[in-house]
Amino acid sequence: MAEETTQAAESEAPDAASTFETGVDPSAGAERVLNQEEIDSLLGFDVNNEQMQDKSGVRAIINSALVSYERLPMLEIVFDRLVRLMTTSLRNFTSDNVEVSLDSITSIRFGDYLNSIPLPAILAVFHAEQLDNYGLFTVDSNLIYSIVDVLLGGRRGSSAMRIEGRPYTTIERTLVQRMIEVIMQDMRAAFEPLAPVSFTLDRLETNPRFAAIARPANAAILVKLRIDMEDRGGRTELLLPYATLEPIRKLLLQQFMGEKFGRDSIWESHLATELWSTKIDIEAILDEQTMPLSKVMNMEVGQTLMLGATPESRVELRCRGVPLLTGRMGRVNSNVAVRVDEAVERTDASRAL
């Protein structure tokens, strides 16, 4: 009996020693399994974080290779105007108290956005006619059921019923389509002070693969909007590829002052005042002659040059070599004067000077 106890103690001694040296219990297994939260933290993914630009883990390494796209000041003003217009139009559309808020305006790759769309959702592809390109509207399921509930007389104070695992019905798609058409009319009004752009609905999709309007690597502007109807509401997202905005890019780069979309009347008035008060030298050309350089070099003091001009000859007025006016020479009291007869017609060559 004593020998068996001694052998059991000797067999447990190596296990205790190994536990003391490595800090890992051999009975618990050689490797520790990470849970999902630890894996997400290691890779830099956060499911609860709605901002898609994480700054940690592998996501930070991926984002470091992205191009930093330019900021378009006028586009922010257009979307602020869109929010105000949507608030009014959706209140008239739903006959309810609607509040629209702008969450964020970010740059994203088109392929990354398609992979991040939470399903189920309705994706509306629309065409910008004057820009000759397409854009994308995404309406999440919460907003879809809220709109259906509000338009069909749902009881206030009760959250919209969300049924998963079934496609959207014809009634739901029709009501969402009407809401999107209202928003696109507001978009046309928001862009109108900047440039006339008409938006028309092309089609509705529920699968992101069928809503590919650009290449996955192409850059796009993502605008996140929040629509609240008292205790109901949801999100809608507007995606505009940079290729769509390229025709009006110069207009979007303007600085905003007042409600005139980049036009500063104070600066215009100041510039006009300074231009009218600017002093310039005007030369009256009586005659021009061409002579060899040898004759010019042999000129002496007191030598007379004969001009081929008469009292009836026309005089040309120039400013820094540019012909402006023609007239006739005369005299006013003791001063030599030129009476202007007509303006010189400018040519492309003279404008280049």
Examine the pLDDT at 345 and tell me if it is beyond 90.
Answer: no
Average pLDDT on 17-28 reads 48
Average pLDDT on 202-216 reads 88
Examine the pLDDT at 257 and tell me if it is beyond 80.
Answer: no
The residue length of the chain stands at 353
- The pTM for the full model equals 0.55
Are residues 320 and 278 in contact, defined by beta-carbon separation less than 8 angstroms? no
Q: What is the full DSSP assignment across 21-84?
A: HHS--GGG-SSPPP-HHHHHHHHT--TT---S---SHHHHHHHTTS--PPP-HHHHHHHHHHHH
Average pLDDT on 294-305 reads 87
The whole-number pLDDT of residue 17 equals: 47
The whole-number pLDDT of residue 6 equals: 47
32-46, 69-83, 144-158, 304-318, range with the lowest pLDDT? 32-46
The whole-number pLDDT of residue 180 equals: 93
| Percent of the chain topping pLDDT 90 | 19
Determine if residue 276 is left, alpha or beta; phi over 0 gives left, psi from -120 to 50 gives alpha, anything else beta: alpha
46-55, 118-127, 171-180, 235-244, range with the lowest pLDDT? 46-55
Q: How many contiguous H segments (helices) and E segments (strands) does the chain have?
A: 12, 10
Are residues 115 and 241 in contact, defined by beta-carbon separation less than 8 angstroms? no
pLDDT in tens, 7-17: 544 444 444 44
The whole-number pLDDT of residue 69 equals: 55
Average pLDDT on 316-339 reads 86
pLDDT in tens, 78-109: 999 999 999 999 999 988 888 999 988 888 88
The whole-number pLDDT of residue 2 equals: 46
| Percent of the chain topping pLDDT 70 | 74
The whole-number pLDDT of residue 174 equals: 92
89-98, 287-296, 340-349, range with the lowest pLDDT? 340-349
Examine the pLDDT at 316 and tell me if it is beyond 50.
Answer: yes
The structural domains of the chain, ordered by start, are 73-252 (3.40.1550.10), 314-353 (no CATH)
Task: Name the E strands within the chain.
Answer: 98-109, 121-128, 133-140, 199-205, 219-229, 232-241, 283-285, 314-319, 322-332, 335-343
